[in-house]
Amino acid sequence: MNKLILLFLMVASFIQLSYSQYNLIPDSSFEKNKGIPLTYSAIDYSGSWTSATRATPDLFCQCSKKQAKESKVNVPNNSMGQQEAYSGKCYAGIFLVSHSYYREFIQTNLNSPLEAGKEYTFKMQVSLSDYSPLASDKIGVCFLNSTLKLPHSDPIVNLQPNYISLEEEVGLDVNDWHELSFRYKAKGGESALLIGSFAIKRIWKTGNTPPNEISSPIYKRIDRDAYYYIDDVCLYEYKPEKIDTSDVGETPYFANQIQEKPEEIIVAPDTVQKMNFNEVVSLNNVFFKSGEDILTPESFAEINILLVYLKARPNLRIELFGHTDNSGDEASNQLLSQKRAEAIGNYLIKKGISEIRIKAIGYGSSKPIDSNLTESGRKANRRVEFNLIEN
């Protein structure tokens, strides 16, 4: 009898685990298709995924050797770059940025509607394509009560997506798949999923472009396109693990879940922020805790712009210059200015920039740019500057 009870409990636990891990995305890795596409704009080959607008997302699938000779959307080698499927043999591809305000969105119905008040874990694999000349700062994920069919190929506005940072998680890397995830609390009744570029704040030049011998939808003459592959889209009911609360630590911070109202003004590709080389420039939005060398969170956005430039151009070096006002002891000011410049350098090193490309110098209060007799002047003097140097 004890063995039967134990067996019953094991089976029940297995069923409960399986149910809790039930993926609500009907074709998470784009495998259940009506055929093998050989050219662009074939998302309709999918049995589950469609375009939400008149734009034409792509479906990439591994072909036979004979088909591969004519296919523009083969896996791993295709007209957007080279990438193996994260799992299976297929994946999707969309323009997050392209000419004018052109955007691409993919959508699917869920296996069952979301239940009000329940939390769900969303995950997907994303890779920047090899030939993409631009990289975007974020991608949006929206849960809706039904799929869309809009008569345009512009950004979709008047929705409230969950934004996931591409800037932090993917950057300019074109080699690997990156898992993007967040937790979502359902309003109830959501039965469709929509993925795409609802709003953009920053885009960067990657330095990449399709080779001349490759025929590609990515435009070769102007940096106007940001193209990403998508695979293994998953949505599970969130089941928190039972934790020992006898030693309570800090509350977890879910950094990837960024909800904000969509912007209707889109950053066009010709407004990609440019940086001058061999010129000392102040970092205007980099802040430290008072009297310390600890960067505040709002500083990372501007430092990340430096980061993508340094990653895109391995021939660049950076010099960082720390400055203070004349309050207090000059020896302490010089040390603080040095540590603040080093703090930015250490952040860049942590994100993959070689330390031999970084030099940090502290000048204390010896190089003011304004009067130390006023608060506004002292604030201007408390700064960190940088200089990008081409080797």
pLDDT tens column, 173-193: 898 999 999 999 999 999 999
How many Å apart are CA 307 and CA 355, to the nearest integer? 13
Q: Out of 3-17, 38-52, 277-291, 332-346, pick the least confident.
A: 3-17
Confirm if 324 and 291 have CB atoms less than 8 A apart. no
How many Å apart are CA 256 and CA 278, to the nearest integer? 35
- pTM value is 0.68
Report residue 297: phi and psi, to 5°. Answer: -55, -35
Burial class, 125, CB count within 10 angstroms (exposed 0-12 / middle 13-18 / buried 19+): buried
What was the pLDDT predicted at 3?
A: 55
How many Å apart are CA 79 and CA 40, to the nearest integer? 9
Query: CA–CA distance from 51 to each of 56, 72, 113, 149, 274 (Å)?
Result: 7, 19, 20, 8, 33
Overall average pLDDT of the 2-13 stretch: 52
Q: What 8-state DSSP symbol labels residue 161?
A: P
How many Å apart are CA 135 and CA 128, to the nearest integer? 7
The band of 330, judged by pLDDT with boundaries at 50, 70 and 90, is very high
Which pLDDT tens digit goes with each residue over 24-54?
999 999 999 999 999 999 999 999 999 999 9
Report residue 378: phi and psi, to 5°. Answer: -65, -40
Which pLDDT tens digit goes with each residue over 49-84?
999 999 999 999 999 999 998 999 999 999 999 999
* Torsion over CA: 197, 201, 202, 203 (sign): positive
The band of 255, judged by pLDDT with boundaries at 50, 70 and 90, is very low
The band of 270, judged by pLDDT with boundaries at 50, 70 and 90, is very low
What was the pLDDT predicted at 256?
A: 40
Confirm if 305 and 274 have CB atoms less than 8 A apart. no
How many Å apart are CA 47 and CA 171, to the nearest integer? 31
Residue 136, strand partner residues: 203
What was the pLDDT predicted at 14?
A: 44
What was the pLDDT predicted at 351?
A: 81
Could you tell me which of 25, 11, 18, 2 has the C-alpha nearest to residue 235? 25
Dihedral angle of Cα 184, 176, 174, 302, to the nearest 10 degrees:
50
Residue ranges of alpha helices (H) inside the chain are: 2-20, 65-68, 166-169, 300-312, 330-350, 375-381
Instruction: Please provide the distance, in angstroms rounded to a whole number, between the alpha carbons at the two ends of the chain.
Output: 78
Peptide bond into 113 cis (omega under 30): no
What was the pLDDT predicted at 289?
A: 74
pLDDT at 247 over 70: no
